[in-house]
């Protein structure tokens, strides 16, 4: 899978731009605040229908513009097709093959991307919400079934929390209605728990040998899906659903008092262990960075395994954050296999011998100019 062409209109500081890409490595060179990260963000938006930098879509619309348009042509083994996202003050529209998609969940997954930016190095040491978002965003691209159950879970969770909050204010509660919400939330939650556990195991299978290679065989990486429920490969969804219902019953009074749902996959986490020690708590900065890099490289392989296509890789100013050894491992792993977009202020700190025939673009004040090849 690769992105052949990108068209921007009224997006951030790009009033009008059209770029054709190499299916190998594309490098965007330029000083800070010229628009390099905006290009990366626009590709992410084209894939995921949302930005990784802001939850406010209006920020993506350029100054004095009524709307922003991001369009691209994707090439896959099955052929090519256009994608389009239009953002306006009225909302967001997504088109696949020129047909508007009523549900964004039916659009996501037609361009798979993996973003690696400096803030992703905090994936290991950041808060649990960072890792839950990581799970949901990556799994949502790979599995339309997971994305469906995630959307349903979030919808019922919002209803249940609103009802618990309403009870806290009024003191009135319809037990039958709460039981219906419990059943719905437990059914969707069981699906998420089972799929997240399976994903974590599969991600570990790819990440462990990668981490071992980077650490020259000195470290063993393991992953653990951390939940308040006992989840194993033998646990079936019916058991998980019953476990969730028991938790709701057991802690009903506490949830009523606090006006929120205290148990379920929206509270879970992933833990990382290097040589059996929790790397989030006891790992060095180097071990934490190696773990983050191993996870991103493992994602590439897992996405190919699950979808039959390698994703597009976005490296947003991240090479300068990696030492020579980790940078080398990253570039050698993706070479001639994954279409890659790389932003940097200079190629001085990049191992140029590992960039095979890159297409280089100079970015200045929202203008993109390709260097002669």
25-29 vs 359-364, strand pairing mode: parallel
CA dist 81 and 265 (Å) reads 35
253 marked ligand binding residue: no
Residue 94 annotated as part of some ligand binding site: no
Give the up-direction half-sphere exposure of residue 354: CA atoms within 13 A in the CB hemisphere: 21
Start-to-end CA span in the chain (Å): 23
- DSSP letters along 188-222, please? HHHHHHHHHHHHHHHHHHHHHHHHHHHTTTS--EE
The answer on whether 37 is annotated among ligand-binding residues is yes
Closest to 152 (Cα-Cα) out of 121, 123, 209, 190: 190
Catalogue the E-assigned strands of the chain: 2-11, 14-20, 25-29, 67-76, 79-88, 91-96, 99-100, 113-116, 221-226, 269-274, 277-278, 312-316, 340-344, 359-364, 367-370
| The dihedral formed by the CA atoms of 346, 350, 351 and 357, expressed in degrees to the nearest 10 | -60
Q: Tokens 């709460």 belong to which residue?
A: 178
Annotated binding residue 36: yes
172 is in an annotated binding site: no
Decide the pairing of beta strands 367-370 and 359-364: antiparallel
Helices 324-334 and 175-214 pack at an angle, to 10 degrees, of 100
Q: What is the CA radius of gyration of the chain?
A: 22
Residue 296 annotated in ligand binding: no
Contact partners, residue 203, CB within 8 Å, separation at least 6: 223, 295, 298, 299, 302
Contacts of 171-178 with CB under 8 Å at 24 or more apart are 173/256
Is 30 annotated to bind a ligand? Reply is: yes
d(CA 139, CA 128): 16
Grouping H, G, I as helix, E, B as strand and the rest as coil, residue 117 is coil
Annotated binding site for ATP: 30-37
The binding site comprises 30-37
């Amino acid at each position: 899978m690769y992105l052949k062409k990108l068209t921007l209109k009224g997006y951030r500081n790009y009033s009008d731009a059209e770029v054709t890409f190499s299916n190998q490595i594309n490098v965007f060179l330029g000083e800070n605040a010229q628009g390099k990260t905006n290009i990366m963000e626009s590709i992410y938006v084209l894939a995921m229908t949302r930005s990784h930098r802001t939850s406010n879509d209006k920020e993506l619309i350029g100054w004095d513009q009524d709307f922003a348009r991001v369009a691209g042509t994707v090439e896959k083994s099955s052929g090519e097709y256009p994608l389009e996202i239009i953002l306006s003050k009225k909302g967001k529209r997504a088109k696949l093959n020129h047909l508007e998609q009523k549900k964004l969940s039916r659009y996501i997954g037609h361009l798979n991307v993996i973003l690696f930016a400096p803030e992703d190095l905090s994936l290991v040491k950041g808060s649990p919400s960072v890792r839950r978002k990581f799970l949901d965003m990556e799994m949502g691209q790979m599995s339309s079934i997971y994305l469906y159950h995630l959307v349903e879970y979030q919808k019922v969770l919002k209803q249940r929390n609103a009802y618990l909050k309403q009870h806290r204010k009024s003191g009135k509660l319809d037990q039958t209605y709460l039981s219906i919400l419990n059943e719905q939330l437990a059914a969707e939650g069981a699906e998420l728990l089972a799929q997240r556990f399976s994903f974590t195991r599969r991600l570990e299978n790819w990440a462990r040998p990668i981490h071992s290679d980077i650490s020259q065989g000195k470290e063993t990486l393991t992953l653990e899906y951390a939940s308040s429920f006992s989840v194993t490969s033998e646990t079936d969804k019916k058991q998980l659903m019953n476990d969730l219902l028991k938790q709701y019953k057991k802690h009903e009074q506490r949830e009523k008092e606090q006006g929120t749902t205290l148990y379920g996959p929206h509270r879970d986490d992933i833990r990382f262990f290097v040589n059996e020690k929790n790397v989030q708590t006891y790992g060095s900065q180097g071990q934490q960075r190696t773990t983050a890099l191993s996870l991103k490289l493992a994602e590439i392989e897992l996405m190919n395994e699950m979808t039959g296509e390698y994703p597009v890789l976005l490296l947003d100013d991240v090479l300068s954050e990696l030492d020579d050894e980790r940078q080398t491992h990253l570039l050698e792993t993706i070479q001639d296999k994954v279409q890659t977009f790389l932003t940097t202020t200079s190629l001085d700190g990049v191992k140029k011998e590992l960039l095979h025939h890159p297409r280089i673009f100079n970015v200045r004040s929202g203008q993109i100019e390709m260097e002669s090849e």
